[in-house]
Chain A
Amino acid sequence: MSTIITSGMQNRFLREINAIITIAARDVTITVKSPATLALTLFMPLMMMGMLGGSLAQNMAGGLGFDYKQFMMVGMMVNMLFMTVTMGITSITQDRITDFTQEMMVSPISRYSILLGKIAGASAGAILQLSGTIVVALLMGIHFSIWQLLSFLAISPLLCLAAGAFGVLIVAFVKTPNAANIIVMLIVMPQMFLSGAIIPINHSSGVLFVLSRAMPMTYCLDLARSVFYAGTPDYSNVVLFNPAICVMGIVTLSVFFLVFGTFFFARSETNR
């Protein structure tokens, strides 16, 4: 006699939440189990912050009027979050190759839940991987308080949502992992330079000015710095916009990317 399953979650909202948690937990499990990901957690900050940032700090950061290393650390933390979450979402293209997306697509849950679960999972993995950036920052002698770190972590889910929504937009139109990786690199790398992650953009003008304002990461970075530098003398030197504008920009872009991206993602999965 087979076991009869009579229970099950009847409330639709709870089922959707459970599905989001399940999908997110899968991504976290994969992150934790992957030695390559764990190695990247230390290697990427070492390369980007230690080598690139360190070199810029030693050779070009004189006369800025603020601690460049600290400025660059916040930039790299946001950049790492943005890149890790975006790449986490685009791992859906890998699931397509292994037919695992089918497993999710036939389940009786909203397409939004699938993508929100991916965003939540990629975000949790990205926040875990921030530990590597913090370790490298401490090794480089960069000063920050626990309060500053906690403030940053408090807004990091919002930053991850923006990056995740951006990733959703990519997977809506890109089918293969190779193409997804190239597009992420082509978009995230210029953002790193244009949005002020490493290089201050207070004096950008012309095309670079327009591009910097068009980058979603610009607003994520500025919000992160406004929180990190709140109440410090350097605030006016490193923060460009009112934080409310940044929040509004992030939320607007995220909702647009998420709705638009989810619609086209679901369509691309079934319209072949």
Chain B
Amino acid sequence: MEPVIQVTELSKTYSHAQKKAVDAVSFCVNEGEFFAFLGPNGAGKTTTISILTTTLAKTSGSVTNAGFDLDRATRQNRGKVVIIFQKPSLDLNLSAEENIRFHACLYGMFPYRPAFSLMSRAYKDRVMELAEIVGLKDSLRQPIKKMSGGMQRKLEIIRSLIHQPDILFLDEPTQGLDAVSRRNLWEYINRTRKELGTTVFLTTHYIDEAENVDTVCIINQGKIEFTGSPEQMKETLLRRELLLDAADRAALEDELKSMSVGYTIGKHIVVPTAGGVSAQKIISGLKTPLSYLNTHEPSLEDAYVELIGQKEGTAAMKRGSMFDFTARSARERLA
């Protein structure tokens, strides 16, 4: 696959700032890829996305979007990308539909007409289709001022999806959305990706939304900490674990020791099961009656918290001694 976004040694220092907000960041996003750009608050996500969408000038480095160099072909670049901003960027003086119409006409998709009824059939169908997806069909004529924050967010989503761009930048798109709307939105975005091959560049605080992406890129304090698939991230940073307990915990511990299986003790006995240790083999070898048996499949969020926690040196404190082993081994593997 061809890289559709190529970022090389990108840096940004804001005026009057001592520290770089983004520090020599490099990554690439392939055509049709679902790319999640994650990081804690102030990590540099929005700064990077603002540079990629031309709303902020970079200090150094190079960026190519959809084959267009950001410095040399800014306008062509803008024609290929669409962004849902982190902060709402709606005109509160206009109605919901007027905001959508403004956007669609600004992008040259349809000739401007002073009323919805005068717009083309294609525009009207598209607006109604998207309004249905996010549940905003009955509120299109409503003034934005009277809409809740969640409804305004839905409207921004409709506005951005009114055309089918090559690259869709989503800067925390589901912030403020209810669960049903979130699910509908992701279903629609996934469908659009499959139908049109749209590249999606996502930043989000809901790490579970990035579980199904192709690539995860973690930025922290302006620097890239990790790039790879969610599976690679989980494999690199976390181990699968077997959680055991028994009324006679001492007997259980003795059995584990005799099997040369490492473990840690927290609320339950935690046995890491990666690295050739089979959960099946451990369970079948135990004689002590178990009062608790569970397996822990790490989520992307676990891996994310682990990585960011390591950086901030707070992982162990946050997660308790039960995870000491895991955090230590992850650190060793990263080193």
Cβ–Cβ < 8 Å partners of A105 in chain B? 54-55
Most buried by B among A22, A110, A269: A22
Cβ–Cβ < 8 Å partners of A269 in chain B? 55
The answer to whether A3 and B109 touch across the interface, beta carbons within 8 angstroms, is: no
The answer to whether A107 and B88 touch across the interface, beta carbons within 8 angstroms, is: no
Does residue A134 face the partner (Cβ distance < 8 Å to B)?
no
| Given A2-B129, A2-B192, A104-B106, A270-B57 contact (CB < 8 Å) | yes
Does residue B93 face the partner (Cβ distance < 8 Å to A)?
yes
Most buried by A among B57, B112, B126: B112
The answer to whether A102 and B106 touch across the interface, beta carbons within 8 angstroms, is: no
Chain B proximity of A268: nearest CB distance (Å): 10
- B73-118 interface (Cβ within 8 A of A): 75-76, 78-79, 81-83, 85, 87-94, 98, 102-103, 105-112, 114
The answer to whether A8 and B108 touch across the interface, beta carbons within 8 angstroms, is: yes
Does residue A100 face the partner (Cβ distance < 8 Å to B)?
yes
Cβ–Cβ < 8 Å partners of A98 in chain B? 88-92
Cβ–Cβ < 8 Å partners of A9 in chain B? 108-111
Chain A proximity of B112: nearest CB distance (Å): 5
| Given A102-B55, A106-B78, A270-B54, A26-B91 contact (CB < 8 Å) | yes
- In the bound complex, CA of A107 to CA of B55 (Å): 10
Q: Which of A34, A99, A103 makes the CB contact (< 8 A) with B103?
A: A103
Cβ–Cβ < 8 Å partners of A107 in chain B? 78, 103, 106-107
Cβ–Cβ < 8 Å partners of A3 in chain B? 122, 125-126, 129
Q: Which of B89, B92, B105, B125 makes the CB contact (< 8 A) with A18?
A: B105
- In the bound complex, CA of A30 to CA of B126 (Å): 25
| Given A99-B85, A270-B55, A272-B14, A26-B94 contact (CB < 8 Å) | yes
The answer to whether B94 and A108 touch across the interface, beta carbons within 8 angstroms, is: no
Chain A proximity of B52: nearest CB distance (Å): 10
Which residue from chain A places its CB closest to the CB of B51 in the assembled complex? A270
The answer to whether A22 and B91 touch across the interface, beta carbons within 8 angstroms, is: no
- In the bound complex, CA of A269 to CA of B94 (Å): 23
- A1-53 interface (Cβ within 8 A of B): 1-5, 7-9, 14-15, 18-19, 21-23, 25-26, 29-30, 33-34
The answer to whether A5 and B109 touch across the interface, beta carbons within 8 angstroms, is: yes
Cβ–Cβ < 8 Å partners of A271 in chain B? 15, 57
Which residue from chain B places its CB closest to the CB of A3 in the assembled complex? B126
Chain A proximity of B148: nearest CB distance (Å): 17
- In the bound complex, CA of A46 to CA of B57 (Å): 47
The answer to whether A108 and B107 touch across the interface, beta carbons within 8 angstroms, is: yes
Most buried by B among A7, A26, A110: A26
Cβ–Cβ < 8 Å partners of B14 in chain A? 272
Interface string of B210-230 (1 = CB under 8 A from A): 000000000000000000000
Q: Which of A5, A23, A34 makes the CB contact (< 8 A) with B93?
A: A34
The answer to whether A108 and B89 touch across the interface, beta carbons within 8 angstroms, is: no
Most buried by B among A1, A14, A102: A102
Which residue from chain A places its CB closest to the CB of B120 in the assembled complex? A7
Cβ–Cβ < 8 Å partners of A21 in chain B? 105, 112
The answer to whether A106 and B90 touch across the interface, beta carbons within 8 angstroms, is: no
Cβ–Cβ < 8 Å partners of B57 in chain A? 270-272
Which residue from chain A places its CB closest to the CB of B114 in the assembled complex? A25
Does residue A109 face the partner (Cβ distance < 8 Å to B)?
yes
Cβ–Cβ < 8 Å partners of A30 in chain B? 91, 93-94
The answer to whether A4 and B164 touch across the interface, beta carbons within 8 angstroms, is: yes
Chain A proximity of B210: nearest CB distance (Å): 23
A-B contact pairs, 27 of them (CB 8 A): A3-B126, A4-B164, A4-B195, A5-B162, A5-B163, A7-B110, A9-B108, A26-B91, A30-B91, A34-B93, A98-B88, A98-B91, A99-B85, A99-B87, A99-B88, A99-B89, A100-B89, A100-B91, A102-B85, A104-B106, A106-B53, A106-B78, A108-B76, A108-B78, A108-B79, A269-B55, A270-B57
A-B contact sample (17 more), CB < 8 A, given A4-B164, A21-B112, A22-B105: A2-B188, A2-B191, A3-B126, A5-B126, A7-B122, A8-B110, A9-B108, A15-B108, A18-B111, A19-B108, A30-B93, A95-B91, A100-B90, A102-B85, A103-B90, A105-B54, A108-B108
